[in-house]
């Protein structure tokens, strides 16, 4: 099948080519985002494969459908960038990667937490300048601290297990309780209590209307002073302006994010020779207790292998008119 792959990167193409080593599909790579300005590139392709920041709104889907596209394959778990009402109207099938490596994202969340708490990023920069002073690098023991896991799906449960290994007290927040989470001997708190009891808050829920800005000014005001917040899920879960205000007052003691609300204009590109004009982002990274990584939490060999294999398996199933095990249905 002819597949147009948007937002493709050099490292990702290697995994996609390996998953397609039989040559069953003809993969055509485009390094640009899918949006109205680029949707014409997909004309004539039966399947279009997109990533987290590609736009699949009603206008784009209409254009894809007119060009002959009948399958939209997301090589990611989240699907907040797709207009499902439009997809249903057009009869377009949508598939995703239901699960790849929950360990990859959970472990990256822990890496961000440890780096912020123990000031690893600051120490790294100091020692490169032969500055071995320890002033300002004091952290705290994770053992005995309370960790709030917002979203207790596969990734949230893995993160919870790791935190238990550090000797932390773990509580969950999720409107749909997880049997796996409860099997760890853990309990849930009410959504209004997010942060009140926690020294650390980690976000692992999808971005849907109900979770948009789930961490906002009210949530942060109720948080324990000096708490550390980690977000490796979706940028829209966090009100960035509110986080900046909380960082200024010290109400928020540290912030580690792998996602950002306006990341589509920044992430997955080399802007090191350009001026980044996003003032909110520039203010964010000016804080010494903030670490931002560019949506790399999923970036492990195991995760990339599973993502690419699962995506092309769905394309094969669609072409052969077989059941789509990873189809997304929103109703």
pLDDT at 191 over 80: no
Residue 309 lies inside a defined structural domain of this protein: yes
Question: Do 95 and 108 share a structural domain?
Answer: no
Residue 328 lies inside a defined structural domain of this protein: no
Residue 16 lies inside a defined structural domain of this protein: yes
d(CA 228, CA 235): 16
For residue 82, the 8-state DSSP code is B
Q: What is the DSSP string of 189-258?
A: --GGGTTTS-SEEEE-----GGGTTSB-HHHHHHSPTTEEEEE-S-GGGB-HHHHHHHHHHTSEEEEEES
pLDDT digits (tens, 9 = 90+) for 106-134: 999 999 999 999 999 999 999 999 999 99
What local confidence, expressed as pLDDT, does residue 330 receive? 73
Q: Which helix (H) or strand (E) holds 27?
A: strand 26-29
Q: Which helix (H) or strand (E) holds 132?
A: none
Residue 331 lies inside a defined structural domain of this protein: no
Question: Do 54 and 193 share a structural domain?
Answer: no
| Mean of pLDDT values over 1-30 | 96
d(CA 267, CA 276): 11
Number of domains in the chain: 2
pLDDT digits (tens, 9 = 90+) for 240-284: 999 999 999 999 999 999 999 999 889 998 999 999 999 999 999
What local confidence, expressed as pLDDT, does residue 7 receive? 95
Phi-psi region of 128 (alpha: psi -120 to 50; beta: other; left: phi over 0): alpha
Question: Do 106 and 63 share a structural domain?
Answer: no
Catalytic site includes residue 25: no
pLDDT at 326 over 90: yes
| Mean of pLDDT values over 21-25 | 96
For residue 34, the 8-state DSSP code is P
- Mean residue pLDDT of the chain comes to 95
Structure-token match 């490169």, residue found:
128
Contacts of 158 (CB under 8 A, 6+ apart): 102, 103, 106, 107
pLDDT at 192 over 90: no
d(CA 235, CA 323): 32
Asked if residues 59 and 36 have their Cβ atoms less than 8 Å apart, the reply is yes
For residue 331, what pLDDT band results from cuts at 50, 70 and 90? low
Q: Please state the φ and ψ torsions of residue 137, each to the nearest 5 degrees.
A: -110, 15
Instruction: Give the range of the structural domain holding residue 226, as residue numbers without chain letter.
Output: 102-292
Question: Do 33 and 130 share a structural domain?
Answer: no
Q: Which of 75, 108, 204, 295 is catalytic?
A: 295
| Mean of pLDDT values over 279-304 | 96
**CATH (domain of 311):** 3.40.50.720
Burial class of 250 by CB neighbour count within 10 A (0 to 12, 13 to 18, 19+): exposed
| Mean of pLDDT values over 177-188 | 96
d(CA 283, CA 23): 47
Catalytic site includes residue 128: no
Asked if residues 298 and 307 have their Cβ atoms less than 8 Å apart, the reply is yes
Question: Do 134 and 67 share a structural domain?
Answer: no
Query: Which residue in 107, 136, 132 sits closest to 119, CA to CA?
Result: 136
Query: Which residue in 82, 105, 103, 109 sits closest to 94, CA to CA?
Result: 82
pLDDT digits (tens, 9 = 90+) for 203-249: 999 999 999 999 999 999 999 999 999 999 999 999 999 999 999 99
Q: Which helix (H) or strand (E) holds 294?
A: none
pLDDT at 100 over 90: no
Residue 256 lies inside a defined structural domain of this protein: yes
Residue 177 lies inside a defined structural domain of this protein: yes
Residues in the chain: 331
Q: Which of 234, 274, 283, 313 is catalytic?
A: 234
d(CA 255, CA 318): 42
What local confidence, expressed as pLDDT, does residue 126 receive? 97
Question: Do 34 and 150 share a structural domain?
Answer: no
Coil vs helix vs strand at 304: helix
Question: Do 248 and 147 share a structural domain?
Answer: yes
Q: Parallel, antiparallel, or unpaired: how do β-strands 252-257 and 227-231 relate?
A: parallel
The string over 57-75, giving b where at least 16 C-beta atoms fall within 10 Å of a residue's C-beta and e elsewhere, is eeebbbbbbebebebbbbb
Question: Do 54 and 129 share a structural domain?
Answer: no
Question: Do 36 and 170 share a structural domain?
Answer: no
For residue 305, the 8-state DSSP code is H
Question: Do 119 and 34 share a structural domain?
Answer: no
Asked if residues 199 and 227 have their Cβ atoms less than 8 Å apart, the reply is yes
Q: Which of 263, 269, 283, 301 is catalytic?
A: 263
Question: Do 61 and 25 share a structural domain?
Answer: yes
The model's pTM is: 0.89
pLDDT at 297 over 70: yes
What local confidence, expressed as pLDDT, does residue 77 receive? 87
Question: Do 238 and 110 share a structural domain?
Answer: yes
Residue 327 lies inside a defined structural domain of this protein: no
Catalytic site includes residue 263: yes
| Structure tokens that stand for 290 in this block | 């903030």
Residue 330 lies inside a defined structural domain of this protein: no
Give the number of other CB atoms < 10 A from CB of residue 135. Answer: 7
What local confidence, expressed as pLDDT, does residue 211 receive? 94
Cα-based angle 312, 318, 323 (whole degrees, multiple of 5): 105
| Mean of pLDDT values over 34-52 | 97
């Amino acid at each position: 099948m002819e597949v147009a792959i948007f937002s493709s990167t050099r490292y990702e193409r290697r995994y996609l080519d390996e998953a397609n080593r039989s040559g069953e599909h003809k993969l055509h790579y485009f390094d640009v985002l899918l949006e109205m300005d680029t949707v014409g590139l997909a004309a004539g392709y039966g399947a279009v494969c997109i990533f987290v920041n590609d736009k699949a709104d009603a206008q784009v889907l209409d254009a894809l459908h007119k060009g002959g596209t009948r399958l939209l394959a997301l090589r990611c778990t989240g699907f907040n960038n797709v207009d499902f009402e439009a997809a249903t109207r057009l009869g377009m099938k949508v598939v995703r990667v239901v699960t790849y490596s929950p360990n990859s994202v959970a472990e990256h969340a822990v890496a961000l937490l440890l780096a912020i708490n123990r000031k690893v990023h600051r120490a790294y920069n100091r020692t490169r300048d032969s500055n071995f002073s320890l002033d300002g690098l004091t952290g705290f023991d994770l053992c005995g601290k309370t960790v709030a896991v917002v979203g207790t799906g596969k990734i949230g449960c893995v993160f919870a297990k790791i935190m238990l290994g550090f000797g932390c007290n773990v509580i969950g927040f999720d409107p749909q309780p997880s049997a796996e989470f409860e099997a760890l001997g853990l309990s849930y708190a009410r959504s209004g209590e997010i942060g009140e009891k926690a020294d650390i808050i980690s976000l692992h829920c999808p971005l849907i209307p109900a979770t948009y800005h789930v961490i906002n000014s009210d949530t942060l005001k109720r948080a324990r002073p000096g708490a550390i917040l980690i977000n490796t899920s979706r940028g829209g879960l966090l009100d960035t302006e509110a986080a900046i205000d909380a960082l200024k007052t010290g109400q928020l003691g540290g912030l580690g994010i792998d996602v950002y609300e306006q990341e589509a204009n920044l992430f997955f590109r080399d802007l090191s020779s350009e001026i980044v004009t996003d003032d909110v982002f520039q203010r964010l990274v000016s804080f010494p207790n903030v670490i931002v990584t560019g949506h790399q939490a999923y970036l492990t060999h195991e995760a990339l292998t599973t993502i690419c294999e699962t995506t092309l398996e769905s394309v094969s199933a669609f072409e052969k008119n077989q059941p789509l095990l990873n189809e997304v249905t929103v109703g």
